[in-house]
Amino acid sequence: MSTQPVGNGRHRVVVIGSGFGGLFGTKHLARADVDVTLISKSTTHLFQPLLYQVATGILSVGEIAPATRLVLRKQKNARVLLGEVTDIDLAERTVTSVLLGESTVTPYDSLIVATGAQQSYFGNDQFATFAPGMKTIDDALELRGRILGSFEQAEVAQTQEERDRLLTFVVVGAGPTGVELAGQIAELSDRTLEGTFHNIDPRDARVILVEGAGAVLGPMGPKLGGKAQHRLESMGVEIQLNALVTDVDAHGVTVKDKDGTTRRIESACKVWSAGVQASPLGKMLADRSAGTEVDRAGRVVVEPDLTIKGHPNVFVVGDLMSVPDVPGQAQGAIQGATYAAKQIKAEVAGKQTPADRRQFKYFNKGSMATISRFSAVCQVGKLEFGGFVAWLAWLALHLYYLVGYRSRIITIIQWFVTFLGRGRGQMAATEQWIFARLALEAVYGDSEEGEEIVRGAAGRRPPGSSQANPTGNGVATPAENSGGDRKVG
């Protein structure tokens, strides 16, 4: 275990997380008389709202996930420490992080915790084996492999029943991510892949959007939700509302309708975008701060100044904080982190004390979601509109928040190629992208159980079984296809 040096006696700020909250909080302290240490288990700053475009071949990882060290290279008072935070000692004011088994203890005077949220399966974590979420780069690459692999497997399928299953894509959750992903899978099959296969027509793909509530984009209201639903349906997306997913396996999903009846949807490729759960660090902070609580999603119920009870130097921002009327979006994280940085700067400069702080006020700049090329919905205050103008506004906003001029220029080029033409520049997919997550689970868990997880995700039978069983994700492994009829993934 190593301990970071005390340094030059300046105020020490530790920021946990390199998302919107962590990065903007760090950058806002650039000219303050402080030393900033940003600790993250990822080497990149991930622009999460565009992950679905990586999953569907529009953008590359580099455009939405620049290296955090490069982003902060010119900020002289900031350094980046790679590692996963395993402990926060509020009494000793230290943060412990681990990288490849090596622990590092970093002391702090002020702490900003911005570790965000992860996918929630509402207590059914086993669903993740067959239906990855959309929260990380690994998720997006795995899903791209599953989507493209399903088309490849359908090309060599022996029966129409199996072909139909492989060409059925189920998206669970009709929030912004689900809507955007369903629209892009539909466009991928209808435009980009048209005419590229011999035995199948990709336009026959069936895209199903399943939502447990009664509306698409529910938080955005019936008007914009209705516009989004109408546009998706015009693209051929099947929308099933008031439908709760009760089970997910290698070959499909089980759905319970509003009347209590259950039914099956046979599908090889599934994606989960139905809920989020806060980082486990939220529960750790609450347990160690008397009187601090977490909500049902694990978010920390913070004080009016975004701190935890009894610790005015510990700020919780972004998706990890629970503040009424503040949505779990980039704007909430950016504004919360900026607010926290301002309080730290003012107190280091001797301009105020924690008792003088004004409470955090969130300014709602609106919300938007893209549905397809040339079509989006946008809500700014009481103004609601959709269509081409909303799509242009969506493009402009996302370009503005992308980090780096290079990323913006390349993204514009990729969008030009995709939306005005038919091609997509990021169509590579490998078996490793699909199975890497499951293989890691097998390594770190019980070996026999891990092997069964991988086999189950692929829809394969145990060794020694003579009956063929089609893969559950559209890609077969080399071990199973060592002969001349090897299937392409």
Enumerate the active-site residues.
180
User: How far apart are the C-alpha atoms of 163 and 170, rounded to whole Å?
Assistant: 15
Residue 350: exposure state from Cβ atoms within 10 A (0-12, 13-18, ≥19): exposed
Which of left, alpha, beta for 9 (phi over 0: left; psi -120 to 50: alpha)? left
> Which residues, other chains included, contact 130 with Cβ-Cβ below 8 Å and sequence gap of 6+?
248, 249, 250, 270, 456, 457, 472
- Which residue's structure tokens are 């992860």? 118
Structure tokens at 340: 């926290």
3-state DSSP: the chain helix, strand, coil percent, rounded to 5?
40, 25, 40
> Which residues, other chains included, contact 483 with Cβ-Cβ below 8 Å and sequence gap of 6+?
none
Neighbours of 308 (CB within 10 A): 27
| Element holding 110 (H helix, E strand) | strand 110-113
**One-letter amino acid for residue 481 of the chain:** N
User: How far apart are the C-alpha atoms of 371 and 183, rounded to whole Å?
Assistant: 6
8 A C-beta contact, residue 192 and residue 423 = yes
Identify the DSSP state of 250: T
Structure tokens at 70: 């490069």
CA torsion, points 398, 404, 408, 409, in degrees to nearest 10?
170
**Cα atoms found within 13 Å of the Cα of residue 145, Cβ hemisphere only:** 26
- Which residue's structure tokens are 């071949």? 57
CA-based max dimension of the chain: 76
Which of left, alpha, beta for 298 (phi over 0: left; psi -120 to 50: alpha)? left
Neighbours of 62 (CB within 10 A): 15
Residue 107: exposure state from Cβ atoms within 10 A (0-12, 13-18, ≥19): middle
